[in-house]
Amino acid sequence: DGGITQSPKYLFRKEGQNVTLSCEQNLNHDAMYWYRQDPGQGLRLIYYSQIVNDFQKGDIAEGYSVSREKKESFPLTVTSAQKNPTAFYLCASSISGQLSTDTQYFGPGTRLTVL
Amino acid sequence: GNSVTQMEGPVTLSEEAFLTINCTYTATGYPSLFWYVQYPGEGLQLLLKATKADDKGSNKGFEATYRKETTSFHLEKGSVQVSDSAVYFCALSDPASGGYQKVTFGTGTKLQVIP
C-alpha cells in the first residue's frame, strides 16, 4: 500500500536535547512538507521541499532543521533552540508543489512532548 | 496576505441532523479551496475541493460550493453520522502567490455527533 509513514507516534524529550522525527513516503512524490499543529490553531508550515537536495523555510522554521537526501525521506530535527517544541507534527507529500491542483497526502503524525 | 476564517467549535449535533460549517476566505487571486478532515489521533485527509468559482466539491455525502461573490466555501451534509465526528479544516491555495503555492489552513472546527 502506498502512503506516508511517520515514526515514532509518541516522542518524549528532555529540555536541551535535539530529536529527529522520521517521515517516509512511497508515493513517488517530488514534494514533501512538515507542519506543526497546536490546539485550536490551524496547521503552520515549518519546511518544505519540492525536489531532492533542495528545501525551503516555511513560516515557523526557527529551531528546526531538515534534510532531503532521498526522494522518499524528509526527516525533521527539532533542536534545543526551539523554545516551545511540544506539539503534534504532521508530514505531507504531493506529486509536485502545485498545491492549487495537487492533493496533499498526510502522515499519521508524531506527538512530541518536552518534559 | 491570504487567510481562512471558519466557525469556532465545537459543534454538537444529533445523529441525522443537518450540518453546516461556515468558511470564508481572503486571497489575492483566484484560489483553490479545500476541506480536510482529521479523525482523532490521525493526520489530515482531503475531503473535497473546488478549483474555480461556482464549482461544487462533494465526497461521502459532504458538499461545498465555491462562492466567489461572498468569498465562502461552506461545508454541508444532509444527515450526519456518529462516524463523522472529527475536526474539519477549511484551506486555500492561491496560484497567484507565485512559485511555491502554499496552503493556508483555517483553525479547524470540531464536530461531535451524538447518537
- What confidence tens digit (pLDDT) does each residue in B52-83 have? 999 999 999 999 999 999 999 999 999 999 99
Which residues contact residue B50 at a Cβ distance below 8 angstroms, ignoring those fewer than 6 apart? B32, B33, B56, B57, B64, B65, B66, B73
The model's pLDDT over A29-55, given as tens digits with 9 standing for 90+, comes to 999 999 999 988 889 999 999 999 999
Encode B38-50: b = buried (16+ Cβ within 10 Å), e = exposed.
beeeebbebbbbb
Residue owning grid cell 515549518: A46
Of A92, A96, A95, the residue nearest B89 (C-alpha)? A92
* pLDDT less than 50: residues of chain A: none
Smallest Cβ distance to A100: which of B44, B45, B94? B94
Instruction: Determine, for residues A100 and B4 on separate chains, whether the beta-carbon distance falls below 8 Å.
Output: no
Instruction: Determine, for residues A100 and B89 on separate chains, whether the beta-carbon distance falls below 8 Å.
Output: no
Residues of B with CB under 8 A from a CB of A: 4, 31-32, 41-46, 49, 51, 89, 91, 93-95, 100-108
Q: Determine the distance in angstroms separating the CA of B18 from the nearest CA of chain A, rounded to an integer.
A: 24
CB A17 within 8 A of CB A113: no
